[in-house]
Amino acid sequence: MQEEIFNKKQTFRYLIWTFGIAYLIQAAVAVMYANGLTIAYQLVMMAMMFVPLLGTLLSGYKLRNIGWRPRFRGNLKPILIAWLSPVVLTAIGAAVYFMVFPSHLDISGNSLSSIAGVDAVAQLEAQGISYPIYILITVASSVTYAPAINIFLAVGEEAGWRGFLYPQLKAKFSKRTAWIIGGVIWGMWHWPLIGLIGYEYGSDYFGFPALGMLAFCVITVALGIISDWLYEKSGCIWIPALFHGAFNAVGTLPLMITVPDTGTARLLGSAPVGLLAGLPIVIFAVVLLLKCKKNAE
């Protein structure tokens, strides 16, 4: 990592390329989604994670100094936080959500049936796997090896957001302001998906899609603060990528034990992108924000 000097031209080029390409991709994803091309649009969405990296390169910025070399020595604490905090924060948030909405807890497999078909649970049981066991297997994989796999997708975003944009914003504004602006930009980058296919929150809620867009920005601001803090602590872009990958791995787990239709409550949880279930993440980010303010004084 190196101290950045704000480059207005490169920053605007980055934003134009990153948003332009991503928005075109998201329009294509919406068409695929509408035509039931599930595998195709999922693959395209995975590829979209490399758009911020591509946008950085097209802006003319050289990425060689963002900490590509893995740094394990002295970074054990950031690595453990990046790997384990997503599952801990997600579990706490889900517990809070189900305490408020106990009727939304469902371990019968209805959520799986709504996605994979009514016979999905029966097919599992025919293989000798009960739905609770299936949940445990999924949780184990999501906590152990999935973050290490997801890191190679997440680094495509992290190289752009944390490697380029956040340092540029911090060179222009105070760190706290840069963290907030960067998080809002990151959230806005996903807006077409939220509006076109109900990404993260579905479409059956009051204020669709505007409230979903705003709620998602709250979460991306919080996640962006934690990610950039990990990047600053480690000096290695792979650490926030690990956090991002771990969050993606566990983020949908609470939905496995949630009734399929929660309506407007989907804005609140049970996944950590909900405003209620996401409270632990927001609180963690606020603590870092306040700590940043204290250190600046």
Number of CB atoms found within 10 A of residue 35's CB? 10
Residue 63 lies in a domain: no
Q: If DSSP codes are grouped into helix, strand and coil, which group holds residue 281?
A: helix
Chain segment 33-70, per-residue pLDDT in tens: 999 888 898 999 999 999 999 999 999 998 888 988 88
pLDDT class for 297, splitting at 50, 70, 90? very low
Q: Which two tokens stand for residue 65?
A: 């100094």
**Residue 111 pLDDT greater than 60, yes or no:** yes
Q: Which domain holds residue 282?
A: 68-296
Residue 24 lies in a domain: no
Residue 77 lies in a domain: yes
Chain segment 10-42, per-residue pLDDT in tens: 999 999 999 999 999 999 999 999 998 888 989
Give the least confident one: 129-133, 194-198, 223-227: 129-133
Is the Cα dihedral 180, 186, 189, 190 positive or negative?
negative
Are 261 and 202 within 8 A, CB to CB?
A: no
Residue 220 lies in a domain: yes
Burial of 185 (0-12, 13-18, 19+ CB in 10 A): buried
Residue 53 lies in a domain: no
Q: What is the pTM of this model?
A: 0.94
Chain segment 251-270, per-residue pLDDT in tens: 999 999 999 889 899 999 99
Are 89 and 281 within 8 A, CB to CB?
A: yes
Residue 291 lies in a domain: yes
pLDDT class for 291, splitting at 50, 70, 90? confident
Cis-peptide into 280, omega within 30 deg: no
Residue 7 lies in a domain: no
Domain count across the chain: 1
